[in-house]
Structure 1
């Protein structure tokens, strides 16, 4: 499990972040957008998906089931959401580990820190 410091974008978003997004209900409010999310679609016969290979991009294609969704920005209202009610929770925490380059340091510092964070939450 990784921990990340979250930083809001400082400039305009690249087009790949905003393509296909529209303000919900005709609103110009940036707090809600409508988007299409592509979910993995299981094989109809119930068989497992075909494997993908790093060196074979042609194996990356997967069947998808597009779903129209409304995405709401909860910035400033994070405390209104909980794991028990919404299935996710925002918990501010800054990890001591920043580099993630030394496995032994990660095991000695980051793992116990993450374990304690989960207990606290």
Structure 2
């Protein structure tokens, strides 16, 4: 019989990158070659040290309105994630319905 290890909650010290404007224009990023003399992107990144808190056992303390994310227990029907077409047709729809149900969203764009 298989056993699962139970890890004690712990925090992780890391850095997160945040958007940093390169100039005063609205952010853009060219996928193809940009016009002559134009930067490919004016989106920069600024790194900030932070602590990611392990909230195992405290999932009830977070929610969309309070923290911008929430935990939902859900077992997906998709198991392999190997077929892009199947993922797009089945999994995307599954996620869309889950978000509508859990977050009360009227529209979901994936």
Equivalences, count: 89
Matched, 1:81 2:93: no
* Contact kept? 2:9, 2:55, Cα under 8 Å: no
Gaps of 5+ in 2: 33-39, 103-110
Cα 1:51–1:105 shift into 2, 3 Å = closer
Following superposition, the deviation at residue 95 of structure 1 comes to 0.9
Output the TM-score relative to the length of structure 2. 0.56
State the distance in 1 between where 2:14 and 2:84 align.
39
Q: 1:103 aligns with which of 74, 77, 85?
A: 85
CA RMSD between the two structures: 3.7
The alignment's TM-score, normalised by the length of structure 1, stands at 0.52
Pair 1:36 & 2:15 matched? yes
CA distance in 1, matches of 2:101, 2:29: 40
Structure with the higher helix share, 1 or 2: 1
